[in-house]
Amino acid sequence: MGKKRILSGMRPTGKLHIGHYTGALENWIKYQGEYENFHLIADYHVLTTNLDTSEIYDNTIEMVIDWLAAGLNPGESPIFRQSQVKEHTELYLIFAMLITAARLERNPTVKDQVRDLKIENITYGHLGYPVLQAADILLYKGNAVPVGEDQVPHVEITREIARRFNNQYGKIFPEPEPLLSKFARLPGLDGNAKMSKSLNNTILLSDAPDEVNKKLRKAVTDPQKIRRNDPGRPEVCLVFTYHQKFNPTEVPEIEKGCRSGALGCVDCKLKCAAKINEFLAPFIEKRNYYESHIDEVKDILADGEKRAKEEARKTMSEVHKAMNLG
């Protein structure tokens, strides 16, 4: 038996930040040898919250450059745009018949999005977001989906749809398992629980050292630690969270210095910025290469789309046969 399959994807929102890396990319890279991976650029999904498509292509290229610079291997794992593989929409239509509107309205992830983005009138497409996601995953017969905890309800909907289809028409689809990432979320520089470009609280993977230093200087810390000798509480400090990820060997020493007051916030931030810059240096070098070889990036995309189409056609041929549609 061959390797199990993973389908993982992101909306193309342009350059990625370190939260994208720790929450998703890092795991995708780790899984490359272990699973057969398909990497989806979810450009149709963008429409659920933003109808302006003028920057989708440019944002796609920027994101693919970040994926490649981080270490995704397109030779092993096809990288492709959802919109270029028409079978996604066909399978989405079929799956939409297998789930009730009431079930989709109970989805906590959509409820959270409506609240966070202050959406007054939810569209049919936004409500059906997890159905399109199910089509994305099952079109490639994904056995596992690397997700943060907030996306687990979507994977559960995918499992339900796979079950319903298999019971109705015969076993075609696996029921994928969520693969939870251990370090799922980095807080934003402003102390917000989530790093997000719309909140302007991110460190981009492409940020130069000066930019990282400038951003870290403004990062919020423990509000009770005002002066250098004040004892701090690392557990409430987002800079300490960054140390845990990017500077693990010094964590015990930093925790001790913070609690005793011996380590001031300015020095703590400088140490953190230095470690993040060290981490980003090889990434930025690779990014510079791809930025000056855009045709290579476009070729990688074209090749990934060709390979994805082949898999998608195979699956839909099985679906048509099972459903007596030709």
**Contact predicate 131/99, CB 8 Å:** yes
* pLDDT for the residue numbered 113: 76
Residues with Cβ within 8 Å of 163's Cβ and at least 6 positions away in sequence, in order, are 175
**Contact predicate 137/156, CB 8 Å:** no
- pTM for the whole structure: 0.93
**Contact predicate 7/36, CB 8 Å:** no
CA distance 49 to 305: 25
**Contact predicate 53/13, CB 8 Å:** no
Q: At what angle do helices 238-246 and 251-260 cross, to 10 degrees?
A: 160
Nearest to 39 by CA among 57, 66, 17, 18: 66
Residues of the chain with CATH 1.10.240.10: 207-288
What count of other Cβ atoms lies within 10 Å of the Cβ of residue 148? Answer: 15
Residue 81, both tokens: 């745009």
CA distance 313 to 322: 14
**Contact predicate 171/321, CB 8 Å:** no
* pLDDT for the residue numbered 230: 87
* pLDDT for the residue numbered 102: 92
* pLDDT for the residue numbered 216: 96
CATH value of 5-186+293-322 in 3.40.50.620, 3.30.420.130, 3.40.50.740, 3.30.390.50: 3.40.50.620
326 residues of the chain, pLDDT tens digit each: 578 999 999 999 999 999 999 988 998 999 998 999 999 999 999 998 889 999 999 999 999 999 999 999 999 999 999 999 999 999 999 999 999 999 998 888 777 777 777 777 888 999 999 999 999 999 999 999 988 777 888 899 999 999 999 999 999 999 999 988 665 578 999 988 889 888 899 999 999 999 999 999 999 998 888 888 888 999 999 999 999 999 999 999 999 999 999 999 999 999 999 999 999 999 999 999 999 999 999 999 999 999 999 999 999 999 999 999 97
Helix, strand, coil percentages (3-state) for the chain, rounded to 5, are: 60, 10, 35
CA distance 234 to 221: 9
Class of domain 207-288: mainly alpha
* pLDDT for the residue numbered 321: 98
Residues of the chain with CATH 3.40.50.620: 5-186+293-322
Write the pLDDT tens digit of every residue in 27-54. 899 999 899 999 999 999 999 888 999 9
